[in-house]
Amino acid sequence: MSRIGKLPITLPAGVTLKQDNNIVTVKGPKGELTQLIADSAITVKVENNTVVVERATEQKRHKSLHGLYRMLITNMVKGVTEGFKTVQELVGVGYRATSTGQLLELQLGFSHPIMFVLPKEVSLKTETVKGENPKIILESIDKQLIGQVAAKIRSFRKPEPYKGKGVRFSGEVVRRKAGKTASK
């Protein structure tokens, strides 16, 4: 049995969940999100202020989809109430980030700056404090989208294992390797 799939989801005040055919729509104070439930064996039932996701059979595929769709709906509910936030740091000498609206300009040690346009659903803020690494702060109500954008920004310069330079998530630990030793 799917332990996660069986758990009910409580809807906070001000959040409504509506289902049309296989499309679940969650509306809250921060916005509105929709999710397509591709498998007809998964059903979503709303009772009072709780949402229950159920499956038709005990097949392994249906069990995995049961937990998946339950977590997707949970993330939608959390997104429209609280939102999601991701903080990334630029570690390296001369690494900079500046933002103008939805345009992110990165200086990551290449001969040219990297210009990256973010989707309108993601808000962008950059911080540069003297003595600290520059930070990129992303906020959105869609957890999947913010994760995809953060992974794309990180892919421009992944943290390398020798000096630890690159774009990393705040609090991420980069395993360091020992460099070459001089022979006598």
Residues 29 and 54 reside in one and the same domain:
yes
Q: How far apart are CA 53 and CA 112, in angstroms?
A: 49
Determine the average pLDDT of the residues in 3-30. Answer: 90
User: Which pairing describes strands 84-91 and 50-55: parallel, antiparallel, or unpaired?
Assistant: unpaired
Structural domain ending residue among the three candidates 26, 51, 81: 81
CA-closest candidate to residue 20, choices 1, 46, 2? 46
| Contacts of 116 by beta carbon, 8 Å cutoff, 6+ apart | 103, 104, 105, 106, 152, 153, 156
Residues 128 and 165 reside in one and the same domain:
yes
Tell me if residue 2 falls in helix, strand or coil.
coil
Residue 183: inside a domain: no
Residues 91 and 156 reside in one and the same domain:
yes
CA-closest candidate to residue 161, choices 171, 173, 172, 176? 176
Residues 89 and 65 reside in one and the same domain:
no
Q: What is the pLDDT of residue 2?
A: 62
pLDDT(18) > 70: yes
Residue 179: inside a domain: no
Span 34-71, pLDDT tens digits = 999 988 888 898 988 899 988 888 888 888 889 899 99
| Contacts of 31 by beta carbon, 8 Å cutoff, 6+ apart | 79, 80, 141
Structural domain ending residue among the three candidates 21, 55, 81: 81
Residue 184: inside a domain: no
Residue 180 pLDDT level (bands cut at 50, 70, 90): confident
Span 148-166, pLDDT tens digits = 999 999 999 999 999 989 9
Contact 125, 99 (CB under 8 A): yes
Residues 103 and 127 reside in one and the same domain:
yes
Residues 69 and 93 reside in one and the same domain:
no
Residue 116: inside a domain: yes
Residues 72 and 119 reside in one and the same domain:
no
Residue 181: inside a domain: no
Residues 88 and 49 reside in one and the same domain:
no
Residue 1 pLDDT level (bands cut at 50, 70, 90): very low
Residue 57: inside a domain: yes
Residues 110 and 51 reside in one and the same domain:
no
Residues 110 and 162 reside in one and the same domain:
yes
Q: What is the pLDDT of residue 138?
A: 96
Q: How far apart are CA 80 and CA 12, in angstroms?
A: 10
pLDDT(5) > 50: yes
182: its two tokens: 């001089």
Percent of the chain whose predicted confidence (pLDDT) is above 70: 98
Q: For residue 84, what are the CA distances in angstroms to 31, 89, 138, 160?
A: 13, 17, 8, 27
Span 87-109, pLDDT tens digits = 999 999 999 999 999 999 999 99
Residues 106 and 91 reside in one and the same domain:
yes
Q: What CATH number has the domain bearing residue 90?
A: 3.90.930.12
What's the predicted TM-score (pTM) here?
0.87
Instruction: Give the range of the structural domain holding residue 34, as residue numbers without chain letter.
Output: 3-81
Structural domain ending residue among the three candidates 81, 104, 138: 81
Residues 64 and 93 reside in one and the same domain:
no
Q: What is the pLDDT of residue 184?
A: 65
Q: How many structural domains compose the chain? A: 2
